[in-house]
Amino acid sequence: MSDTTEPDRTKPDPAKPDRRRPYHHGDLRRAILAAALDVISAEGPSALSLRDLARRAGVSHAAPAHHFKDRTGLLTAIAAEGYGLLAATLAEAEDLRDAGVRYVRFAREHPAHFQVMFAPELLRENDLELTTARALAGERLREAVAAVPPSGRGPDPRLAGVAAWSLAHGFATLLLSHNLDGPVGDQDPEDVFRLLTGMLFQSRSG
Amino acid sequence: MSDTTEPDRTKPDPAKPDRRRPYHHGDLRRAILAAALDVISAEGPSALSLRDLARRAGVSHAAPAHHFKDRTGLLTAIAAEGYGLLAATLAEAEDLRDAGVRYVRFAREHPAHFQVMFAPELLRENDLELTTARALAGERLREAVAAVPPSGRGPDPRLAGVAAWSLAHGFATLLLSHNLDGPVGDQDPEDVFRLLTGMLFQSRSG
DNA sequence: TTCGATAACTTGACACTGACTAGATTGCCC
DNA sequence: GGGCAATCTAGTCAGTGTCAAGTTATCGAA
């Protein structure tokens, strides 16, 4: 435990930790976020420990709280970031099917964000950043549904939205929880999803 | 919380806790499971604490471990029970649509089971009870898909299964995470789901 | 340039948790 | 009855989130 390397030479205070690293981390907030995403995608949100993240970033155990207040704050920040990323990729979708494919791709590329976004009991639901980002993503989804010609989306666009969202969300969720490892096998999940939508919407969508 | 009925009369040892309750709980395993389901459906699996469950059951903090080994064991038992319940209700389905409706109903009636079943990082994945129960539920799902006439399920039954499962699972998940509170509103979710399937499968299924 | 406010981080403490151990108590079966 | 296994208690340990108070860096005015 005690460092045995000439403990006195010019070291001002041996009780204090190594001072090669400056007192201020530089971009601790980003470092904590990145480490958190690693942990979550590997072991799930419940394995997240603020002290562990601090250790990984080489700072003291209470440092993360200064940027995120508490554990819930950190997860809320991740969820908000996730909704922002999702909204951005949905905005570029060509049509509803492409939006679905992008939804699945987002879940695969940002599994940690995705998990946290849909775990409301882990989040501060009244957080402003979170609610606005989520509303924006919802708006993008509605736009994608609205772009479908009326003949193809049935009488109620809200219902069509729920249908599309359910399909994409279910597929993405089952994919992440490894429940499609069998049936999908080694095929590209996005291709499988495209096949799926082709099957369900074959009589109407182009 | 504390029963105030004649607290001292013939109490032999005041240091020991209240002995009106017998040394053996009687059905601690079931009591712990029930309390765990309450906690999970109210606050999610991450709020689960073995010590809290012990407190609710009125036993010592280490008693739950005797029935479930550890936290993971408890959650695994819940998941296995969930897959058993799901398999049972799917076995009674009349057709694929009814199976989907039953899937959604299961998620609403057993939200705690449902959440835990699809959180693999919280479970002991190689647990025998879990894997057999899960396999059974998967078999019931495949049977429901196989019962659809070939004209209605496309060339690949596995793909049809993934489609049906994705739709039901996505709808159920979004429902539980309160993401459909807006669009579905106060309608019965099962009715909405029936409308959904009618929309997507209108050209083929009866 | 100096100074002071403020942000970034550390340190120490507290109550809580899961896991483990050894031992006490009980019901049950022969 | 005696023995025995299941059940439960009690104590301990390392690890956790969070709070309060202290320390150090940064930056904007004076």
Tell me: the pLDDT tens digits for B90-134? Answer: 999 999 999 999 999 999 999 999 999 999 999 999 999 999 999
Residue B196 to residue A166, Cβ atoms within 8 A:
yes
CATH class of A23-68: mainly alpha
Record: contact B159-A195, CB cut-off 8 A: yes
CB pairs A-B closer than 8 Å: 114
Chain B residue at shortest CA distance from A167: B167
Residue B171 burial (CB count, 10 A): 29
Rounding to the nearest 10 degrees, give the CA dihedral for residues A41, A44, A45, A47.
-110
Residue nearest to nucleotide C21 (CA to C1'): B62
| A119 with B179: Cβ contact below 8 A | no
The percent of residues above 70 in pLDDT, for chain B, comes to: 85
Q: Nucleotide D9: nearest residue by CA–C1'? A: B60
Give the tens place of pLDDT for each residue, A148-164.
888 777 778 889 999 99
Residue with tokens 């049509």: A95
Domain spans of chain B?
23-68, 78-200
At A191, the amino acid letter reads D
Helix (H) or strand (E) run with residue A171 in it? helix A157-176
CATH for B78-200, options being 1.10.1660.10, 3.90.230.10, 1.10.357.10, 3.50.50.60? 1.10.357.10
User: In Å, how far is B122's CA from the nearest CA of chain A?
Assistant: 8
CA distance linking residue B78 with residue B134, whole number of Å: 12
Say what the pLDDT of residue A202 is: 63
Q: What DSSP state is assigned to residue B69?
A: S
% of chain A exceeding 70 in pLDDT: 86
Helix axis angle for A96-109 and A128-146, nearest 10°, is 140
pLDDT at A153: 77
Distance from CA of B159 to the nearest CA of A (A): 7
Enumerate the nucleotides of strand C whose atoms come under 7 Å of any protein CB: 8-13, 16-22, 25-27
pLDDT for residue A183: 84
- A109 Cα distance to chain centroid: 9
At residue A166, the 3 state secondary structure works out as helix
Rounded to the nearest 5 degrees, what angle is found at the Cα of A97, between the Cα atoms of B118 and A156? Answer: 90
Q: Cβ contact (<8 Å) for B183 and A122?
A: no
Nearest to B115 by CA among B44, B16, B165: B44
* Other CB atoms within 10 Å distance of the CB of residue A23: 6
**pLDDT in the model for residue B12:** 33
